[in-house]
Amino acid sequence: QHDERIPPETELFIKEEDPETSLYISTRLHREKQGFNQENIYFDTSPQAVRLYLLYNHWLSKVLLYFFILLDLSLAIFEEPAVFSLPIWATMLVELLCLLAFTIRLVHYAKVIPRDKFWKDPKNICIILTLVDMIIYGALKATNCYGVRWSRVLRPLLLINVTEGRQLRRAFRSIRNALPQIFYVFLLFMFSVLIFSLMALKLLGKRGLKTIDGAPYFTNYLEIVFDLYVLVTTANSPDVMMPAYNASFVFAIFFIVYILINTYIFMSVFLAVVYNNYKKYLKEEVRQLVRAKRHKMARAFAVLQEQREEGGELVVTQANWNQVVRLVRPDISNAHRELLWSVSDDKNQGSIGKVAFVQLADLLNIEVITLKSRPHPLHSLCPAFYLSAPSRLLCRIVQHRAFVIVYDLIILVNAVFIGLDEENPMIANSEWVFLALYLLEILLKLYVFEPRAFFSRHSFWNWFDTIIVISALIATIVNSAMKSSGGYTSRQILDIVFILRVLRLIRVVDSIQRFRAIINTLIRIGPMILTFGQLIIVVYYVFAMLGMELFKGKVKFFEDPNDPAKAYCGNPLLKDTAFAQLNYCKNNFNNVVSSFILLLELTVVNQCSGFATVTHISARIFFVLFHILVVIVIINIFVAFVLEAFFVEYSVDKSDLQTSLERKIEELELAVEQEKMEDNLVNAMETIDNDLGTGQSPTANKPSLMFKIASKRYRTVDALLQRMFEADLDPEDFAENDDQNGNFANPTFSSV
Amino acid sequence: QHDERIPPETELFIKEEDPETSLYISTRLHREKQGFNQENIYFDTSPQAVRLYLLYNHWLSKVLLYFFILLDLSLAIFEEPAVFSLPIWATMLVELLCLLAFTIRLVHYAKVIPRDKFWKDPKNICIILTLVDMIIYGALKATNCYGVRWSRVLRPLLLINVTEGRQLRRAFRSIRNALPQIFYVFLLFMFSVLIFSLMALKLLGKRGLKTIDGAPYFTNYLEIVFDLYVLVTTANSPDVMMPAYNASFVFAIFFIVYILINTYIFMSVFLAVVYNNYKKYLKEEVRQLVRAKRHKMARAFAVLQEQREEGGELVVTQANWNQVVRLVRPDISNAHRELLWSVSDDKNQGSIGKVAFVQLADLLNIEVITLKSRPHPLHSLCPAFYLSAPSRLLCRIVQHRAFVIVYDLIILVNAVFIGLDEENPMIANSEWVFLALYLLEILLKLYVFEPRAFFSRHSFWNWFDTIIVISALIATIVNSAMKSSGGYTSRQILDIVFILRVLRLIRVVDSIQRFRAIINTLIRIGPMILTFGQLIIVVYYVFAMLGMELFKGKVKFFEDPNDPAKAYCGNPLLKDTAFAQLNYCKNNFNNVVSSFILLLELTVVNQCSGFATVTHISARIFFVLFHILVVIVIINIFVAFVLEAFFVEYSVDKSDLQTSLERKIEELELAVEQEKMEDNLVNAMETIDNDLGTGQSPTANKPSLMFKIASKRYRTVDALLQRMFEADLDPEDFAENDDQNGNFANPTFSSV
């Protein structure tokens, strides 16, 4: 009853993130190599199918895909209204090329999934629509008619549909699922705004009040609704209230009640609803994802299982296990693999059962740092010198707490010097002193600590320091060389030097433990924030395309300060408006870069009076829609996400699985001392290396290889999500029922 | 080892909210009346002590206390700078009177709590400080010296210290507990602002850019820090960025990164930290509160307990239980009491054990609505008429769904008519038609439904409708009478008429179930929002007093539009500033009302440039402090609270205890049909009365008395809080250990 081809597309395209899919496929390959007969074949493992699969998931084809998506998106820079104008045929040609690339990718995709699923996919429609639009537009342009490239708004959808960005899809699904709930609250909110507007019209409309511009105040119902809506965004507070307040302070009560209800209470309710829905649906998705994972692992187990003795349990032998893990993760060391095996095979039986095997995917997701207790190179090269009394004293000084404090003080003094005027030659030369001091610090640390440990992958601050100091050194030297040779100072290089100098100061934060904890949490949720960044870019791109069609050229910015048109942004309609007076002319939709910056400003404060003036009052709909979508929905989901991530950090202990791995590490006496690990979670390496690298501490009786779990850092975003909702998952649920009824859907690929 | 007096003050002053304290005291009184010998007396139950206690908790003494607090606070209206000026001796006299009242209350308090606890109380110091300040100020004024009434900032603290506002104290404690965590995040946030400012100084300071006013742009470090801090509040976006953005769009990246990190990420982190701490400490407090409650109930049980047979369980008999409950809650009906007993005495043994007795306090907290199935008065008076065919038809029409829909449509048409110009005589007269229609609706409903059920305490919308319609009728009649008699229209009465008309439209919301659910949640969290209102008023009052000392008279508002000083708010320093141009002159600290309104504006958008201009640049500190305290701390706690309340609504089911009560009600066949209850939670009365009131439905075989639980509505805020954290509380924990070790502290009265 199963497909003969590699069946649910779900199992194919998530290799990058899922060790379990990879494990499943590798398991089958491994069995085939062993010459086993596949009794119940689930999918096609013919060389051709596997080659297709591997090619689809090859890093090069993914890089190419992302390149074409970026190319397609960046066409907006060259199309009218353009930053750098290119002829239409050139951009059209590039877009055709991109579409071709997407089509090839799609055909490739169609080869590996069932045909009926392929045709339901929305991305096919995107490509076809784009093609149709290009043909129409080309024809219109050829006949000199006015045409609109409306399919440009579809481009960012490719980012969601063509790529394997499961985080982005998930975020989109969360939003879609939360929409009905948000919609009801929004209706109630709008009802409240309408009622308040009606009250404002009745109370204030007949009093003959005037705004500062001398216009009648609160006489038009739709104007009032819009003004009060903008008041919710706090953009026009207190201006909108001043005429009424000047008439009588009693009217202030009206505005106070309005702000309390609509800005504070309703906006909190929006956050609550968005947060609640986000959590609910995410939980359901992660639950399904974990079920899918376990299901795949159970199937992999079914392929590898052996019966050691008659009537005994079905098990997987260590030899098979080893070969599979080596296939799946060729990057992990033998020692690490042995550690994983000893965790799985708790009772040292030489084989593991189903439950232990299913855990393997989770174990592979835990980031284990292998610490090699290497002696310092100098220690090996000339031990007499490196172990001499002055050298040992130096090591002790550098490792002392005071060394850190002294350098923190140097950084603070440096901050003061940066703040002072750099035209002063004394100050300018002091920069060399500071650079020398920082360089000395890095050299001293390299002398004391083992260099490979110092520059290990997780030593974020060491890398940060070194890169910043070296770059600053290079930039300063280049700058001085240019200055002394031609007397010419490059503004750009100076800017870079300044930025690097200031960035160096951030280092201070790392010395204070409380700060480090907060920053580590922020670094951990970084990847998730990037997902929201993509989401925002998708929405911004669509609105930028729309905005450019609607408002391009309406507001112009003049570089020349003497141009008389500058005072009214090149549009007579803007004469004497606040928009022109505040010099907002550069906030326009004249090209894609300006549009993005303007949309960001609108996210912060929704001010759009200028654009309604230059076009039509209905242009406000564009801005209100943008506000609803970005501020009420997306920003709230972002805040909800940050909240959730911080709660997880505050409340959830390490997961059980991780603890079992840690227990095993400790049991085998391979653990780095706990107290040293706790004070610095992500980047404890530096501290730990104190002991491991110097070669002076009594590590002689310790094993030369040690493990450490990057305890709060997960290899994948899914693992973090799984951890968030772990409490609700049953560890014994293998999702085996789903195997039979066939409607086993991995949420990753359900349509967006 | 126990005090002989009524000991921990905690047990004394919470009667209003806690049935358990009341129960405990009543239990002892009841036993004394029965002539029982109190074997182990915990506190003084002599007639004198009880009289003192009852007097202290008498509603009149509480009302008097609140009256004096209000009087004391409202003195700010009459003191310089005053709204209505009174001579100093008058305000001083009133303040002395208030202080006297507080002192009497304190002495009374001292009589009922142990002496050592009394002197540690901070409110004593407040009173003494106020007295000292009044003497100094009086002396200075008498000698015509300049004096500052600095003790005025202490006044709102009385609101926290003297009253029994446990919610307010709890909110303050939450804030105090969350402060260290917030402080560290705040330091990091300020560090980020300082680093960005330094970078801005280096990047933009030397480019010779100008602001719109022509001032140099970003050349002073402290100015930059302030500007960037204000940018976090979004008040000066995009103005602060425009000069740099106009120079090059690359600089926009700087501001984008700044806003992303400091406005979005850090503000979310603040919310997360505040929320997390708030939840953590609240949980701990509620846990202690529940323990205290159970402890008191266990002690009450110990007083009443009897051993029915040798070696049997200790129990409380129904007779004793009945008398105690009657003492504690004389307001509940016999039927309700019997219901509670039958819930407690589940097995009908005539006595209850400890666990069941301890639940009594929770049972009393569940609001049970007793529905009396009374026939309609007309049914009793002239049944022939009331049961005639046309009358029955009318009843059926009014109860039909279409009747509600028709009236919703009428309301919508009314909304359109309100929006139209009321000068039109047709429109003006239509108002009478609508009034008549609404009145007809109420009369019809009163004809169909039993009037006492229609106006029962929980029929929020019925009350709302009737009051609004009757008030509108009266106001409209008064208005017409004035108009036709003297041709004179009172603006105030017209305003009231307009407001009432618009408020009537809110009724529509109740017809849509989704909206009703949201609004019911909002109504339920209403009392908590009021607590935050008090908190805000305390902070506003302190800042208003400070602001009035610092800025009074600096900015003046002129009613006369022709006054030349109006253009610069009466202060030449403000000439040509944005503050004066935008006509913000009424935003001043010249009296307490203006100050409060201004502080509210500052909460929404922190704009203070005007006040720094008229005084000194350091005045900004006042505004930054206000922003930190109100927006970062209090508003975040408010948002956290709304979030939590909504999550409770979404996720928590009815508490177990409530369900047992409901089970019992259903078992006894006293329940109102479930399906009718579900569609309208708080105000289902109207629907239910359909059957109960008409007398036509076949209720003959039903009991004449029915119960209904106001399912999601709790009698006290504490019960709601307890429900929030119920999952973490052990129902069998009687806190009996605390009895021995003596450090049993009720959190309510730990110092603020």
**Res A544: pLDDT:** 92
Calpha distance B672→B406 (Å, rounded):
27
Confidence bin at B121 (pLDDT 50/70/90): low
CB–CB contact B256 A600 (8 Å): yes
| pLDDT higher than 80, residue B625 | yes
pLDDT digits (tens, 9 = 90+) for B218-227: 888 888 999 8
Confidence band, pLDDT 50/70/90 cuts, at residue A4: very low
| Predicted pLDDT of residue A258 | 93
Nearest CB among A198, A271, A585 relative to B419 is that of A198
Residue with more model confidence, B231 or A663: B231
SS3 A344: helix
Confidence label for B570 from pLDDT (cuts 50, 70 and 90): confident
Q: Kindly determine whether residue B271 and residue A643, on different chains, have CB atoms separated by under 8 Å.
A: yes
User: Can you name the residues that pair with A352 across neighbouring β-strands?
Assistant: A316
Partner-chain residue, chosen from A198, A239, A581, that has the shortest CB–CB distance to B418: A198
Chain A closest CA to B585's CA: distance in Å?
9
pLDDT at A343 over 90: no
What pLDDT, on a 0 to 100 scale, did the predictor assign at position B727?
58
A605–B237 CB contact, under 8 Å: yes
Specify the pLDDT at position A543: 93
Touching check for B63 and chain A: CB below 8 Å?
A: no
Residue in chain A closest to B515 (alpha carbons) equals: A188
pLDDT > 70 fraction of chain B, expressed in percent and rounded: 74
Check pLDDT > 80 for residue B31.
no
Distance CA A206, CA B380 (A): 52
Select the more confidently predicted residue: B301 or A113.
B301
B655-668 average pLDDT score:
64
Q: Which of A275, A519, A638 sits opposite B264 (nearest CB)?
A: A638
The average confidence (pLDDT) of chain A is: 75
Write down the domain spans for chain B. Answer: 9-166, 385-448+460-511, 526-650
Whether the ω angle into residue B81 lies within 30 degrees of 0, i.e. cis, is yes
B47: amino acid identity, one letter: P
pLDDT digits (tens, 9 = 90+) for A460-497: 788 888 998 899 889 888 888 887 877 666 777 778 88
B239, B419, B593: residue with CB nearest A582: B239
Residue showing tokens 């005053």: B82
Cβ distance B453 to B692 under 8 Å?
Answer: yes
Is the pLDDT at A702 greater than 70? The verdict is no
pLDDT at B199 over 80: yes
Residues in chain A, overall count: 752
- pLDDT above 60 for A657: no
Q: Phi then psi for A714, rounded to 5 degrees?
A: -110, 150
How large is the average pLDDT for residues A148-163?
Answer: 78
For residue B69, pLDDT beyond 70: yes
- Residue B95 pLDDT more than 80? yes
Q: What is the pLDDT of residue A730?
A: 63
B506 near A CB under 8 A? yes
Nearest to A203 among B498, B514, B557 (CB): B498
Tell me whether residues B638 and A249 touch, CB distance under 8 A: no
CB atoms within 10 A of CB B752: 16
The three-state secondary structure class of A544 is helix
Segment B143-168 mean pLDDT: 76
d(CA A270, CA A282) in angstroms, rounded, equals 18
Write down the ipTM of this complex: 0.82
What is the chain B residue with the closest CA to A578? Answer: B582
Where is average pLDDT lowest: A705-719, B265-279, B605-619? A705-719
Q: In this complex, which of B238, B509, B647 lies closest to A587 when CB atoms are compared?
A: B238
Q: Do A242 and B198 touch (CB under 8 A)?
A: no
Write out the two tokens for B257. 């990164």
Q: What pLDDT score does B746 carry?
A: 34
Is pLDDT at A304 greater than 50 in this prediction? yes
Q: Which of A377-386, A650-659, B606-615 has the highest mean pLDDT?
A: A377-386
What's residue B752's pLDDT? 29
**pLDDT of A355:** 79
Give the pLDDT mean for B123-131.
79
* Chain B contact present for A222, CB below 8 A: no
Strand partners, A520: none
> Is the pLDDT score of B41 beyond 50?
no
Fold of B526-650: Helix Hairpins (1.10.287)
Chain A contact present for B187, CB below 8 A:
yes
Tens-place pLDDT, residues B462-501: 888 889 889 988 988 888 888 787 766 677 777 888 888 8
pLDDT of res. B193? 93
Residue of B nearest to A237 (CA): B605
For A601, which of B238, B495, B600 is closest by C-beta distance? Answer: B238
CB contact B269 to A (< 8 Å): yes
Judged against a pLDDT cut of 70, whether residue A20 lies above it is answered with no
A659 touches chain B (CB under 8 A): no
Cα of B265 vs its chain's centroid, Å: 30
pLDDT for A617 equals 80
Mean pLDDT of B554-564: 81
What is the pLDDT, as a whole number, of residue B188?
92
CA distance B217 to chain A (A): 14
Q: Do A238 and B601 touch (CB under 8 A)?
A: yes
Nearest CA distance, B515 vs chain A (angstrom): 7
Neighbours of B421 (CB within 10 A): 9
Give the pLDDT confidence of A52-80 residue by residue, as tens digits: 777 777 778 888 888 888 898 888 888 87
Q: Which residues contact B552 (CB under 8 A, 6 or more apart)?
A: B81, B589, B590
Residue with tokens 């009897």: B306
pLDDT for residue A607 is more than 50: yes
Predicted local confidence at residue A286, as pLDDT: 75
Statement: residue A192 has pLDDT above 80: yes
Average pLDDT, chain B: 75
**Is B237 in the A-facing interface, judged by CB distances under 8 Å?**
yes
Residue of B nearest to A268 (CA): B639
Percent of chain B with pLDDT over 90: 5
pLDDT at B749 over 90: no
Q: What are phi and psi of B225, to 5 degrees?
A: -55, -45
Partners of residue B522 in chain A, C-beta under 8 Å: 265, 269
- CB contact B257 to A (< 8 Å): no
- Please tell me the least confidently modeled range out of A234-238, A329-333, B737-741: B737-741
Residue B234 is nearest to which of A246, A522, A605, comparing CB atoms? A605
Report the pLDDT value the prediction gives residue B123, as an integer from 0 to 100: 66
Cα(B178)–Cα(B517) distance, integer angstroms: 32
> What was the pLDDT predicted at A738?
44
Per-residue pLDDT tens digits for B271-290: 988 888 877 887 777 777 77
Q: In chain B, what is the greatest distance between 2 CA atoms, to the nearest angstrom? A: 98
Question: Which of these ranges, A140-144, B1-5, B164-168, B654-658, has the smallest mean pLDDT?
Answer: B1-5
A351: helix, coil or strand?
Answer: strand
Average pLDDT over residues B662-667: 68
**A194: nearest Cα among A216, A227, A241, A236:** A227
Structurally, what CATH architecture does the domain formed by A385-448+460-511 represent?
A: Up-down Bundle (1.20)
Tell whether the model's pLDDT for residue A5 goes beyond 50.
Answer: no
Q: Tell me, rounded to whole angstroms, the distance of Cα B632 from its chain centroid.
A: 20
Q: Counting one residue from A and one from B, how many pairs have CB atoms under 8 Å apart?
A: 197
Residues with Cβ < 8 Å from B160, sequence gap 6 or more? B168, B169, B172, B538, B752
